């Protein structure tokens, strides 16, 4: 009987902690496209444009031809 009461008390306290534990709700949605990326959250939205790549070129580094993209 005593073991049963200990198990019941443990389960009851675990259930009480799970019920009364609060968690902050924060939803955010992010998307990424070919030209811009952005996120929308509870405080507003942000949109960021991707920089235009300057391109790649071949350079000599230490006697070795290397392709550098900027």
pLDDT (0 to 100) of residue 53: 62
Q: What is the residue extent of each domain of the chain? A: 22-70
The answer to whether the beta carbons of residues 55 and 70 sit under 8 Å apart is yes
pLDDT tens series, the chain, 70 aa? 888 888 998 888 888 777 766 666 566 677 777 667 778 777 777 777 766 666 788 999 999 999 888 6
DSSP secondary structure of 12-64: HHHHHHHHH--------EEEE-SSEEEEEETTEEEEEEPPPP--EEEEEETTE
Q: Where are the alpha helices (DSSP H) in 1-70?
A: 2-20
- pLDDT given at position 54: 67
């Amino acid at each position: 009987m005593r073991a049963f009461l200990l198990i019941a008390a443990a389960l009851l306290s675990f259930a009480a902690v799970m019920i009364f534990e609060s968690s902050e709700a924060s939803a955010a949605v992010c998307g990424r496209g070919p030209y811009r990326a952005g996120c929308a959250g509870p405080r507003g939205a942000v949109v960021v444009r991707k920089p235009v790549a300057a391109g790649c070129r071949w350079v000599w580094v230490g006697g070795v031809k290397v392709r550098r993209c900027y």
